Amino acid sequence: MPSNARATSLTRRGLLAAGGALGLGAALAACGDKGGDKDGGSTKAGEKTGPWEFTDDRGQKVTAKTTPKNIVAFTGTAAALKDFGIEVKGVFGPTYVEDPKTKAKKPDVQAGDLDIAKVKVIGNVWGEFKIEEYLKLQPELLITDMWEKNDLWYVPAEQKDKILKIAPSVALWAADKSMPAVLQRHADLAASLGADVQTARIKADKARFEAAAERLRKAAQGKKDIKVLIGSGSPDLFYVSTPVRPTDTLYFKELGINIVTPTKLDQGGWFEGLSWENVDKYQADIIMLDNRTSALQPEALKAKPTWAALPAVKAGQVIPRVTEPIYSYAKCAPLLEDLAKALENAKKVS
């Protein structure tokens, strides 16, 4: 995965464990009767009946006697499915941010339009996946992203074997494919689950996305000399992402954006970590800064003198980067529009 989250994910898989499920066998046995209430969080278009099948991006054909209704998904994937007309029952991954004083919860940036009060959150941080809570949902399908082949995003490696025995799983690429292809795969999955992906609203969202792409293409043609750097801040390092693996930046390159490409990538080929003393290694006119709650945001970065000294920062040409896009046309169109606007208004400062 791009930027620091991918680095921490690879190390955390080896260092953190969410803990085994106590009494898993008994819980599975108790969950064996699936004749109970499956409403209240199933698909909006769950009236679709008959056998169901879908071939995911691992190349695995997933089948069921009936279309799954009790769906549990990675938060960002769940948000995308909602935009396509499919509701899920439970989520895992960054879903809410809790106020340290009031303990009030507000949606994480990755939650999109999910009603976080109505979905069951079985994990909100890396390494957290509450198997007992998952079982209680009587899941019929698990859906998540895939940043590396066969690596299920936010499904803890230590629990993966237990989790995948409970219900079938679907994994969709969130890397190494251009954004339009990834969007189509999410639409395909939603359609297989019973959604009408040809509604007037979704058609309008897609038209907006395509118009935004054309606007961005034209902006790139007019500002070929403007260099865009994709970055993410942590207390110790600033991560400069390659544009060739993430779906968004890959598409930006296809549209003609001049994106800085780091020369010394990590083992996974995602980013180069720079010390804050060397944060000016690459010249840039626009910085797209990781907007996830796990990364340092502009207010926190003010404490880094070398950050404040960067030409793009001094020029006010720093914009948020949605590092983990919600793959619906409704959510991706604004990403293209915002970058197009930034390019149209950018001045050469590097």
Phi, psi of 156, rounded to the nearest 5 degrees: -60, 130
Which residue from 150, 143, 131, 151 is spatially nearest to 6, judged by alpha carbons?
Answer: 151
For position 100, what pLDDT does the model report? 85
For position 19, what pLDDT does the model report? 29
Predicted confidence band of residue 48 (pLDDT cuts 50, 70, 90): low
For the cut 90, the answer to whether the pLDDT of residue 23 exceeds it is: no
| Per-residue 3-state assignment (H helix, E strand, C coil) for 49-74 | CCCEEEECCCCCEEEECCCCCCEEEE
- Work out the average pLDDT over 2-10: 44
Query: For residue 242, what are the CA distances in angstroms to 2, 107, 226, 252?
Result: 8, 29, 17, 12
pLDDT in tens, 262-300: 999 998 899 999 999 999 999 999 999 999 989 999 999
- Work out the average pLDDT over 213-239: 97
**Cα of 289 vs its chain's centroid, Å:** 15
For position 12, what pLDDT does the model report? 33
For position 22, what pLDDT does the model report? 30
Predicted confidence band of residue 16 (pLDDT cuts 50, 70, 90): very low
Residue where the block lists tokens 């169901």: 52
For position 103, what pLDDT does the model report? 87
pLDDT in tens, 91-112: 999 999 988 889 899 999 999 9
For the cut 50, the answer to whether the pLDDT of residue 11 exceeds it is: no
For position 243, what pLDDT does the model report? 95
For the cut 90, the answer to whether the pLDDT of residue 89 exceeds it is: yes
**Angstrom distance (rounded) from CA 181 to CA 166:** 30
For position 50, what pLDDT does the model report? 75
- Higher-confidence residue of 344 and 6: namely 344
Strand partners, 173: 146
**Angstrom distance (rounded) from CA 80 to CA 228:** 27
b/e burial code for range 97-125 (CB count within 10 A of at least 16 → b): beeeeeeeeebbbbbbebebeebbbbbbe
pLDDT in tens, 145-162: 999 999 999 999 999 999
For position 337, what pLDDT does the model report? 98
- Higher-confidence residue of 84 and 40: namely 84
- Work out the average pLDDT over 62-79: 97
- Work out the average pLDDT over 201-227: 98
Contact 227, 283 (CB under 8 A): yes
Predicted confidence band of residue 45 (pLDDT cuts 50, 70, 90): very low
Identify the weakest region by mean pLDDT among 39-43, 72-76, 137-141. 39-43
Predicted confidence band of residue 47 (pLDDT cuts 50, 70, 90): low
Name the average pLDDT for the chain: 88
For position 9, what pLDDT does the model report? 44
For position 18, what pLDDT does the model report? 28
pLDDT in tens, 323-332: 999 999 999 9
Q: Is 29 helix (H, G, I), strand (E, B) or coil?
A: helix
Name the H helices within 155-243: 160-166, 179-192, 200-222
**Angstrom distance (rounded) from CA 211 to CA 214:** 5
pTM for the whole thing?
0.85
